[in-house]
Structure 1
């Protein structure tokens, strides 16, 4: 659910056209130099280009999971569609799936693992977003080249700048100092939370915007005990959260409560001294748990919070039972559209994350990376992939007016003309999304572009570029306002800083440590254990492998950052 909904909202990008000749000629000359150098990553033969495309055409074999959100027109499929035709006609590149497998029920992962077990030939390119352990398995086969070296030589300036917005996107795919996988980029801050509050309830009681947890408690007290829905029953809550899957989650989040005390649970945070610390054992977590227990005892949050997952908890808000929920800026598109379906008079509004008693505020962050590209060390002409992806970054990621991608990827698919004007209305176009056919799932994304555009529009500035105009027509006002809040509070972001594979101690002890943590935290929140049980938990966590995990995590962090 999480990924599909994020993709739904994130798929608001357009495209346009820049000059191609410099990029392509640069790739071709680079290929010639590499061939002459005899380095391991050099292509076996320099490719010829004519009129901006390879002549004769070059083939790229690849594998990627195909999700249920990918829809084809009648007569088209994964190997023959508007995108594969474009790649061949525009660039002289023939794209061929080595085999096709759906992303559901781990079908793709199972088939790929079987291929690895039988030592089957790998394709030129594997593009993947999903199970991190599978990525590590692929990297450890030694079948894939140092893609970072190729990236430095062949990637366009636009693509390099996009990656350099956050160089840590490389970290999960590094081995022995080499960048084996190229990160697939997503939009920045796409999952960072804001606070959504029932605005009609705020107006009813003349409540002020909550700047602190103390302010928020006044609001929660009112929403819980003063019948905000006017039905004469005590059946509402101040805040809905769901911590069945954990406290620091993608929606119906409670991580910000810990952020108010300077930590973020269930992730590794960067300390002032430059080392990493597991956020759940920071002293601030004890204060956050005491706050959650207090709110639970006062009825501000549902008793069922411990068994609610993220979606179920959000339903308390959409059903009009809770007045506050915390989650991403895109929630007006889903699931908050149900608020008005259930009550046409209802209003909701985004507010900043409040601060704690010492003025601290914190929210979990969202990585700029959302997948990986692996390049086979036996690929004859890896520069062909860069020709393909460079073109998408230079032309599609942020299109120019009058360019080939000004209105979308392909007319009759993601856009169409109606009454003499371009429209992306799915009832007219059929709702096809050719960017989902691409090797990297979304065409190309410049991380900062989406949120800065939304914030610009929220400020009332004019939409001038094709990307901005598409955003303006496709995004409701509450989402624009929420995006501005996200950017305004970017200094409170606390990112997960450990993105490597589980360390040796983690592999042995994490199940025990995680169960210990969840049990202790849940008992404290529900009042079944005293708050000082936290101190006992920390001591036991450290002695049961936590200290050794911390040592190993910091060794990993030092290894990936030492070259900075």
Structure 2
């Protein structure tokens, strides 16, 4: 799994040589070092390296999963040394903070409130409140033209796989943040089922919601765990946060009725509509009510979050759960530790009575880079990131990153055999996470496409494919293939920006109204007809105005 999270590299086939003027940093008190040449001095990039070196200033919230070895820190490590040696770029952190309890956003919010000079770049995971404040601050430059001018073809092609990735960072038709790309379909769900229970009860693979119900009935009423008690559930789920969530997902049930709640969807007329007020949601709610009454699902599922719901599967009390392909490694891998002889397997998501199907899908971004408007030469950042896309995003034999990021950290060789981070002698460390954009560089389509290819039995040919083949269990490859085989079921959330004016006023109330009505329908406190009354109230209490505003935004960006 550690190897899977690493990105790959391609051989650098040409070197850029051109002349810039001045240093890369500007503005007051931004922490730039004296190594930046004075404004009158020429700054040369020769064979891909600045000589003398230039400095990029930044800040960082260091997440708990970013660990170090050899006494290194985020400010001084194998990556920072590499950046200076390979590219002639010194990375200086104005400040860092251990990022627990939103410490990074809190410190950044205070810096913004006190009008501190921002660093050259800020790379951050998304936090809607602080991101909107940064975009509104006037401290960061428009980046669309910069990207068009300086980004490499590899990077541009990766970004063009999903142009909507820019939407979150657009304002008045201009782009003010560069998306940090992630792998496509990375958290899209498949249906995980206890395979040992399927074999014991002689059950067939489900294709429809009706098939799933037959399996759930058997899992509840035919004592699959053999303890002589009726103490198992057919399916575990947790909808405390949403129906379409990253683990213990139930978006596929609503998708089987042509709906996708909790998000804004593109309809057949080319407009956006809110998924929770579409007719198919009522059918999904009624089905959840039936499943609860029959004991197919935990009674308290609406109070459970994703982790709590997953515990029911991992402990051996539930026979199904929907979630991503990577759940093989965590947390489903703990099932075999808790239940002797337990097996699980991924199955395709079922379709509804009319043959419909759908699932929520994953954004292909996991953060953003903002560039200080006072940074005199932002192209220096592009020199850095172009290198990662051109040399790391997809491996080729003989490249610098053929086997991983840095030997002795996220990979090594033991007795001539490649090993991943977990088996590095003396302990490994995820050095790819030290990069300015957290994971080096990712081409959205590459990971799942590779795993699907391997699941089909095709031999790995590129170094990237060989690393995936080496470090990925067959169960995970098969799950990834299912995700790709069903990619037409993916329904993206098309609204990717800040709250509209009406949302700020009414969304909290409408969200509470939705949860209250949906819960009452599921638990039988009101009849299904209450859904239609909810839709009417939603529309008249701000929903129609929100829909109008959402579509005005959509027309402005698409």
- Counterpart in the other structure of 1:163: 159
Q: Paired residue for 1:475?
A: 472
Aligned to 2:368, the other structure's residue is in SS state: strand
Matched, 1:13 2:10: no
Partner of 2:327: 331
Matched with 2:139 is: 143
Equivalent residue for 2:43, pick from 6, 30, 47 = 47
Contact residue 409 and residue 421 of structure 2 kept, 8 A? no
Give the structure 2 partner of residue 70 of structure 1: 66
2:443: which partner in 1?
A: 446
Distance 1:416 1:18, change over 3 A: same
Q: Cα offset for 1:47?
A: 3.1
Q: Do the aligned partners of residues 10 and 284 (structure 1) sit closer, same or farther apart at CA in structure 2, a change above 3 Å counting?
A: farther
* Counterpart pick for 1:431 among 423, 428, 443: 428
Does 2:307 align with 1:311?
yes
Moved over 4 A (4+): 7-10, 43-46
The answer to whether the 8 A contact 2:411-2:419 is kept is: yes
* SS of equivalent residue, structure 1 residue 133: helix
Q: Does the 8 A contact of 1:13 with 1:470 survive in 2?
A: no
| Structure 1 pair 9–267 and aligned structure 2 pair: CA distance change class (3 A) | farther
Matched with 1:38 is none
- The structural deviation recorded for 1:446 is 0.6
Aligned match for 1:58, one of 54, 57, 62: 54
Cα distance in 2 between the residues matched to 1:255 and 1:422: 40
State the shift of 1:477 in Å. Answer: 0.9
Pair 1:485-2:497 in alignment: no
**Is the Cα–Cα contact under 8 Å of residues 252 and 349 in structure 2 kept in the other structure?**
yes
What pairs with 1:238-253 in structure 2 (closer than 5 Å)?
Answer: 238-253=234-249
Q: Secondary structure at the match of 1:480?
A: helix
Query: What are the residue-to-residue correspondences of 1:262-301 with 2, within 5 Å?
Result: 262-301=258-297
Which ranges of structure 2 fall in alignment gaps of 5 or more residues? 25-37
- 1:557 aligned to 551, 554, 558, which one? 554
Query: Is it true that 1:531 corresponds to 2:525 in the alignment?
Result: no
1:461 aligns with 2:458: yes
Report the counterpart of residue 340 of structure 1 in structure 2.
336
Contact 1:329–1:482 (CA under 8 A) maintained in structure 2: yes
Q: 2-side partners of 1:56 and 1:521: how far apart?
A: 63
| Equivalent-residue separation in structure 1 for 2:133 and 2:371 (angstroms) | 14
Cα gap change, 1:301 to 1:44, in 2 (>3 Å): farther
Counterpart check, 1:177 vs 2:198: no
Secondary structure at 2:319 match in 1: strand
Q: 1:402: Cα distance to partner? A: 1.4
Partner of 1:498: 495
Find the counterpart in structure 1 of residue 31 from structure 2: none
How far apart are 1:425 and its partner, in Å? 4.5
- Deviation string for 1:416-460 (max 9, x for gaps)? 221122321523241211111111000000111100010011011
Conserved in 1, the CA contact under 8 Å of 2:421 and 2:430?
no
Distance in 2, matches of 1:522 and 1:230, equals 33
**In 1, Cα distance between equivalents of 2:280 and 2:380:** 51
Name whichever of 161-170 and 60-69 sits farther off.
Answer: 60-69
Q: What's the CA shift for 1:11?
A: 1.5
**Structure 1 residue 543 displacement after superposition:** 1.0
Decide which structure has greater helix share. Answer: 1
Query: 1:9: how far off?
Result: 8.4
Aligned position for 1:404:
400
How much does 1:310 deviate? Answer: 0.5
- Taking structure 1 as the reference length, the TM-score comes to 0.93
Take 2:454 and 2:2, find their aligned partners in 1: how far apart are those partners?
A: 20
Query: CA–CA distance in 1 between the matches of 2:3 and 2:550?
Result: 33
Question: Of 359, 380, 387, which residue of structure 2 is paired with 1:363?
Answer: 359
Distance 1:191 1:209 in 2: 23
Q: Secondary structure at the match of 1:209?
A: coil
Q: 1:388 aligns with which of 384, 409, 423?
A: 384
TM-score (norm: length of structure 2): 0.94
- 441-450 vs 246-255, which deviates more? 246-255
What is the number of residues matched between the two proteins? 541
Is the contact between residue 2 and residue 422 of structure 2 (CA under 8 Å) also seen in structure 1?
A: no
CA distance in 2, matches of 1:248, 1:384: 40
Instruction: Note if contact 1:253-1:326 (Cα within 8 Å) is conserved in structure 2.
Output: yes
In structure 1, how many angstroms separate the alpha carbons of the residues matched to 2:543 and 2:241? 21
